[in-house]
Chains A and B, each alone.
Chain A
């Protein structure tokens, strides 16, 4: 069975066709102005005559992040927060940037209901208030609604009841339930639900555009969107949860690095045109940041890879007079502006070529660079990488490092504290590869009370497995890749917060 992975970035659209264990075709092409014509071309270039044999297409895209950052393609939403009389002081959108709030212009309802950490209702759910809200939402012509319940990651009962009422009153309404998207942390979970609601129409449109791109390329296979955590969901499901695709780019690169080397535990340096992202693979997946992540100025608690970005990439500008490197970059203009491509700007790529580390463009164009100047700056660049790699290491033991991305030649063969640096073929399209080999996941992050540690973890694991199967995983292939518990001070009855993530292979008869 063959699969296509495609990564649509701001600069490049990369695509790859893989067989069981091998790369059959690959292409790196500039992202086109209209995006989709470039996608069609890339798909056609790798599919060639194999369109019928393709079992799945995995797409990584920055569409949805860009929509939030650019405040474009967002629709007006309504928010129903079910938590009154608690949490009354900070209404939905309380910590949003003003310009985003104006664009999304949420119609806000704060309703009595919700639960406590131990599952007791806070107060009875005010269903009349939900009905009234639904009528007003309908009359305002709003089509997308976020529903947020107090402690809903523990029990989504109130959100579910509200969703039913809403659907009865507005049959074609689009609903985002916060319990499906986020963790404990009302404001952050609500923020994610609101962003998701505002992206619903954009999600649908984007998926439809990809669908037609696939048709134009003659591919009828089911297609998936890659997510922040390195897994995929069916495109039609992804259309309902666009926020899950926010950080898929770097994640895909790291997953591709694992696939290219067969290493499940290693560090990865993903060198792009402007920056290098350093991260860690744990059991084949990026280690996640356990902290607040802001997207377009909005606080969220997303599952995002823990990355250290440094201002060093293939297009990083060298100042020959000052003898410094970065942080400015020529970015995607590298093929015009770097010396080796006949341009006038000294870039990190030119240094790598002059030092003999890379063979790109016309190396006679960097012959004039002073050798000691070159080697001093390469040393500076190597030091930057070494320092960052050391920062991201989780133990003093030596680990392997995989160099990927278009500028991976900048990573030296030897780095202090690193057992081995892996430079591999196809490192430049690791992101598309990561997309192509993605699996599906299930996650749970909940507080369990009165169960004891082992029972709580087992219960959490079974919920996560059920969610993975629901998302399209083959039950037998599911394995737990992350399990952690945090005992909770102050809470009675042996309470602990348990977080579990499982992944499994894709069931191909779906779609």
Chain B
């Protein structure tokens, strides 16, 4: 069973994806624009529910990889994403019957939709993170120890590359990143193919719908002049942990990541309190003094208090009025194995994950 993504759902999908990006993942704006143009040309994308996948059905995982700043110049190209998918098909000598996003957070939520529109393939209502994370090792497919190779990379000049085999997820990341850098720090990719059975067992399910619902809740609240932050909280049963104003932000890059801290001074009911958000591309943890109050893998979303718009780690700045919202983490990420991949310690923090939803 599939249903068609309506034109009016493209904006909510992008708004929701930007919120689920938890500060990273890159803005969905360009992909959103591309998808609308494809719709204007008569292309359509269907959504298929994961439970409707056959176990041996082949699913392609398409995404953009690279530096968000470079993407701002080279732009997203649906043709290149489609070529990455086709390259994988010819390499594996298989035919994909559906595509899916690797991460529902940020611009990559929409990337496979662009390929899907051109190739007339449905998109699975699922991803492998339920949010955005910096690396493929942070995905639920990595947590499930699924095969990580091969990986297809396509450059706009017509360079096509395959990382045929790697011993682990780390080497996949290193090898593909080296190619990506050589291409000019941006590339369209198709990651290791997944079977329907793998997607059903290890995918983070129904996240496309989740993203659209979050975006629609924000849109509706704005139209009715209601509180969009409250709308997100209600839609996702999330928890508002702090409201305040950005006081300062420090950023550095190390190891290819944008790292840093952002201090927020409380307003309203949090007046007199302070909170610090640590980031590594995405928001990773929130601290009150030295005490962690929220952390990955739960989704720390920094929203503009007035508009409900998501604020990224690259664009956060002094004076913004913000609400720190925490959304529950997908089940795959909170298991013992999952936490080894995406818990606080995976990002270099010396404390254990504790849910903000725990009593």
What is the interface of chain A, defined by CB distance below 8 A to chain B? 83, 85-90, 94-95, 116-118, 120, 122-123, 150-151, 184-187, 290-291, 306, 391-396, 447, 486-492, 497
Between-chain CB contacts (< 8 Å), 6 pairs: A89-B77, A395-B318, A447-B69, A488-B253, A490-B181, A492-B181
The reply to whether the CB of B6 lies closer than 8 angstroms to some CB of chain A is: no
Known: A83-B73, A85-B156. 13 other contacts (CB 8 A): A86-B73, A87-B74, A87-B156, A89-B75, A118-B184, A123-B157, A150-B74, A186-B75, A489-B257, A490-B185, A490-B256, A491-B67, A497-B69
Q: How far is the CA of A351 from the CA of B132 in the complex (A)?
A: 52
Contact A89 B253 (CB under 8 A): no
Q: Which of B67, B74, B253 contacts A86 (CB 8 A)?
A: B74
CB pair B184–A122 under 8 Å, yes or no, is: yes
Query: Would you call B258 and A487 a contact (CB within 8 A)?
Result: yes
In the complex, B79 has a CB within 8 A of chain A: yes
- For the complex, would chain B's binding face be called helix, strand, loop or mixed by DSSP majority? mixed
- The verdict on A487 contacting B252 (CB below 8 Å), with A90-B30, A90-B33, A117-B73 known, is yes
**Which single member of B157, B158, B247 contacts A122 (CB below 8 Å)?**
B157
Using A88-B156, A90-B33, A396-B265 as known contacts, say yes or no to A487 and B251 having CB atoms under 8 A apart: yes
Contact A89:B256 (CB < 8 A) given known A186-B75, A395-B247, A486-B251: no
Least CB distance from B31 to A in Å reads 10
- The answer on a CB contact under 8 Å between B185 and A491 is yes
**Which residues from chain B sit less than 8 Å from chain A, CB to CB?**
30, 33-34, 37, 66-70, 72-79, 156-158, 180-181, 184-185, 245, 247, 251-253, 256-258, 265, 281, 314-315, 317-319, 321
Cβ-defined contact, B75 with A86, below 8 A: yes
Chain B neighbourhood of A85, CB < 8 A: 156-158
Q: How far is the CB of A276 from chain B (nearest CB, A)?
A: 17
B37 touches A90 (CB 8 A): yes
Q: Which residues of B contact A394 (CB under 8 A)?
A: 318-319
**Contacts A117-B184, A487-B252, A490-B67 hold; do A396 and B73 have CB atoms under 8 A apart?**
no
Tell whether, in the assembled complex, residue B72 and residue A184 are in contact, meaning their CB atoms are under 8 Å apart: yes
Q: How far is the CA of A491 from the CA of B77 in the complex (A)?
A: 20
Task: Provide the bound-state CA to CA distance between A83 and B281, in Å.
Answer: 28
Cβ contact within 8 Å between A290 and B317: yes
In the bound complex, residues from chain A placing their C-beta under 8 Å from that of B184 are 116-118, 120, 122
Residues of B within 8 Å of A87, CB to CB, are 73-75, 77, 156
Nearest CB on A from B296, distance (A): 17
B186 to chain A, nearest CB (A): 8
CA distance A447 to B314 in the complex (A): 15
Residues of chain A with a CB closer than 8 A to B180's CB: 490
A86-B75, A117-B70, A490-B67 as given contacts; A291 in contact with B315, CB under 8 Å: yes
**A88:B73 contact, CB within 8 angstroms:** no
Q: Which residues of A contact B158 (CB under 8 A)?
A: 85
- The 3 A-B pairs of least Cβ separation, nearest first, read A490-B67, A487-B253, A489-B258
Option from B34, B67, B181, B321 in Cβ contact (under 8 Å) with A90: B34
Chain B residues within an 8 Å CB radius of A185:
72-73
Contact A89 B34 (CB under 8 A): yes
Q: Which residue of B lies closest to A189 (CB)?
A: B73
CB contact between B75 and one of A90, A116, A393, A490 (< 8 Å): that residue: A90
Q: How far is the CA of A87 from the CA of B156 in the complex (A)?
A: 8
Contact present for B247 and A187 (CB under 8 Å): no
Q: Which residues of chain B come closer than 8 Å to A88, judged between CB atoms? A: 77, 79, 156
Q: Are B76 and A89 touching (Cβ within 8 A)? A: yes
Residues of chain B with a CB closer than 8 A to A393's CB: 245, 319
CA of A120 to CA of B69 in the docked complex: distance in angstroms? 16
Q: Does the CB pair B33–A117 fall under 8 Å?
A: no
Query: Chain A residues near B69 (CB, 8 Å)?
Result: 117, 184, 447, 488, 491, 497
Cα distance A151–B257 when bound, in Å? Answer: 22
Are the C-beta atoms of A186 and B72 separated by less than 8 Å?
A: yes
Q: How far is the CB of B262 from chain A (nearest CB, A)?
A: 14
A residues less than 8 Å from B78 (CB atoms): 89
Q: Closest residue to B38 on the A side, CB-wise?
A: A89
In this complex, what residue of A is CB-closest to B31? A89
Query: Nearest A residue to B265 by beta-carbon distance?
Result: A396
